[in-house]
Amino acid sequence: MTMRHGPRFLALVTMLMALAFAGAVQAGSHGGEQPDMVKVTPSPHSFPQTLEAFEREASEAGWSILNRNNMAGTLSERGFTIDPVVILDVCSGRYSAQILEEDAYRPVSAFMPCRVSIYQDSQGDVFISRMNVPGFLPMMPEGVAEVMEKSSEEIEAIIDRAIAE
């Protein structure tokens, strides 16, 4: 990928993410089919337990939590009441550096760091959602795809350990 192709690549991925979001909204319930670009995993634990377990497992795996976006809290301050939603920006330096050290790959930084959402629905069920990275890999330059695939595998393992506790 050259820098000349960077904006087209980002536009394509942004469009696909918007379509995935629309599909997630259209799917409505978690009992239905999951959209291809988003993975949703139910947690058997409470919202606070799931959030704590994910953060602990991420830290133990060497990942950093760069930001903790408490969407329910932020919206509450603005007069809206929603069920708990926390979006975590997680980062592994060993993967980020592999992408960011290459000028041709830097446009992908628009999708960094990895984002994981932990939320509770109106029925009280708790879920962990994130981008379905394997669905994006065919659209990425080979070097980026390799790094993102490894990164995604680690995130999946972190989620598996968090919900198994």
- What pLDDT, on a 0 to 100 scale, did the predictor assign at position 66? 96
Residue 49 has pLDDT above 60, yes or no: yes
Average pLDDT over residues 7-21: 45
Q: Round to whole Å and give the CA distance between 153 and 134.
A: 10
Question: Which of 1-5, 33-37, 112-116 is least confident?
Answer: 1-5
- What pLDDT, on a 0 to 100 scale, did the predictor assign at position 33? 57
Tell me which residue has tokens 């879920």: 127
**Whether the Cβ atoms of residue 87 and residue 115 lie closer than 8 Å to each other:** yes
Mean residue pLDDT of the chain comes to 84
Strands lying side by side in the sheet with 126-131: 38-43, 126-131, 114-120, 85-91, 64-70
Side chain identity at 111, as an amino acid letter? Answer: F
Indicate the DSSP class of residue 103.
G
pLDDT band (50, 70, 90) for residue 32? low
Residue 16 has pLDDT above 60, yes or no: no
Q: Round to whole Å and give the CA distance between 55 and 48.
A: 11
